[in-house]
């Protein structure tokens, strides 16, 4: 009769261990997903910076053209 409580305890400990293993796998999957999102966001931010640079270049050229032609863009910024 003394073996019965030990067996029940071991059974519960094994269940807990299985659940912890599943949680660990789930956390690893989530961490991988977060890394993927961070990589995607980094690429997005780099693209955004490149577009901002291109837009600034076009604006600078337009400003030079307007000065050379002595015309105003209608809006002072």
pLDDT digits (tens, 9 = 90+) for 38-52: 999 999 999 999 999
Pair 56, 49: CB distance under 8 Å: no
pLDDT by residue for the chain (77 residues), tens digit each? 456 778 999 999 999 999 999 999 999 999 999 999 999 999 999 999 999 999 999 999 999 999 999 887 655 54
SS3 state at 47: helix
Would you give the distance in Å from CA 43 to the centre of its chain?
10
d(C-alpha 47, C-alpha 41), whole Å: 10
Q: What is the predicted pLDDT for the residue at 10?
A: 94
| Global model pTM greater than 0.85 | no
């Amino acid at each position: 009769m003394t073996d019965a409580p030990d067996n029940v305890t071991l059974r519960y400990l094994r269940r807990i261990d299985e659940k912890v293993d599943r949680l660990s796998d789930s956390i690893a999957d989530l961490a991988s997903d977060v890394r993927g999102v961070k990589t995607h966001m980094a690429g997005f931010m780099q693209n955004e910076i490149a577009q901002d640079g291109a837009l600034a270049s076009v604006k600078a050229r337009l400003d030079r053209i307007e000065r050379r032609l002595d015309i105003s863009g209608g809006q002072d910024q």
